[in-house]
Amino acid sequence: MKVIANPEAGRGRGARQVAQLRQWMEERSIEHEFLITERAGHATELASRLASSGTTRVIVAGGDGTISEVVNGLIGTEVEMGIVSIGTGNDLARTLNLPYNDVARAADIALAGRVRLIDVGREHGRFFVSSVGLGFASDVVEQSNRPGWLTGSAIFFVAVHRALRKLRTIRIALELDGAARELDCVSVLVQNTAYTGGGLRIAPGASMDDGLLDVAIIGPIGKLDLVANFPRLYRGTHSDHPQFALYRARRVRVETAAPLPKMLDGDIWGSSPLEAEVVTQAVKVVVDHE
């Protein structure tokens, strides 16, 4: 079994979990080869190389960013992807009801689970598994990726409060499947998964095989109001708030007056405008039997 592993996932916590995965396979006499990522984009190169060599299933051990890179290397192939999610956010695993930060359970599913075809998004030539966004969402990602000793959900908690300091309203031109409108918002998120930001259930009705992207808009909301509604965002019960709107579309375009940093699967990737479209049944993912 080929394993693409990122020991730096989860703020370096991944090194211990990658070692656990290797030991788990050795104890079960599973033939394996670990391919360790060394830099940004390396997981894409490794995945593409494995696909070209005839590999039929690869396991990725890392966070959402590493998984996203592997997907970019597997698009257009028949390679099945097993997931051992050991990152900070683990939003893809949450959406697919897969274990995260539980190496043994995740590895068992990655080896013996059933295969499910999922949609992905494409944004300016790069594929995303979870989400792409602008505004407050990008500010949170910038803060969460700063060096520090925090791990897990604590990273996002602190990042949110730091990002709140620069919360501002932005004017966007939003186009959904050709229908255009202008509106004010503090954040726009184009979701393929239900979750973002390490457990925020921002698009509770999102499905990864419905051929649609969920577009979540947070309107001009005050800092205190936003903070007060974060528990509802985690529960996915925020849809009736007057400053929240959710749309579905196959193609999404967002323009801003000035370029704004763009978040893609937990990393900053370029700047606006944002142009996303769904690519249906694009990747084979190994999920649980249930």
In this predicted structure, what is the pLDDT of residue 148? 61
In a domain, 44, yes or no: yes
Q: Are residue 134 and residue 32 in the same domain, yes or no? A: no
In a domain, 288, yes or no: no
In a domain, 12, yes or no: yes
Q: Are residue 219 and residue 106 in the same domain, yes or no? A: no
Structural domain boundaries enclosing 30: 2-112
pLDDT tens figures, 35-94: 999 999 999 999 999 999 999 999 999 999 999 999 999 999 999 999 999 988 899 999
Q: Residue written as tokens 């979540």?
A: 216
In this predicted structure, what is the pLDDT of residue 141? 80
Q: Residue written as tokens 């956010």?
A: 89
Domain boundary among 81, 112, 143: 112
Integer Cα distance of 162 and 149 in angstroms: 16
In this predicted structure, what is the pLDDT of residue 263? 93
In this predicted structure, what is the pLDDT of residue 163? 85
Integer Cα distance of 92 and 88 in angstroms: 11
Q: Are residue 155 and residue 79 in the same domain, yes or no? A: no
How many structural domains is the chain composed of?
A: 2
Integer Cα distance of 226 and 169 in angstroms: 13
pLDDT band at 290 (very low <50, low <70, confident <90, very high): low
Integer Cα distance of 200 and 235 in angstroms: 8
C-alpha distance from residue 69 to each of 43, 47, 61, 242 (Å): 6, 8, 12, 36
Q: Counting Cβ atoms within 10 Å, is residue 102 exposed (0-12), middle (13-18) or buried (19+)? A: middle
C-alpha distance from residue 80 to each of 107, 191, 278 (Å): 14, 22, 20
Q: Are residue 47 and residue 135 in the same domain, yes or no? A: no
Average pLDDT, the chain: 92
Q: Are residue 134 and residue 181 in the same domain, yes or no? A: yes
pLDDT tens figures, 224-258: 999 899 889 889 989 889 999 999 999 999 999 99
Domain boundary among 84, 112, 140: 112
pLDDT tens figures, 154-207: 677 787 778 888 889 999 999 999 999 999 999 999 999 999 888 889 999 999
CATH of residue 97: 3.40.50.10330
- Burial 58-89, CB ≥16 within 10 A → b, else e: bbbbbbbbbbbbbbbbbbebebbbbbbbbbbb
CB 236 within 8 A of CB 90: no
CATH of residue 149: 2.60.200.40
Cβ–Cβ contacts within 10 Å for residue 17, how many?
A: 23
In a domain, 142, yes or no: yes
232, containing H or E segment? helix 230-235
Strand 261-264 to 131-135 pairing: antiparallel
In this predicted structure, what is the pLDDT of residue 14? 87
In a domain, 225, yes or no: yes
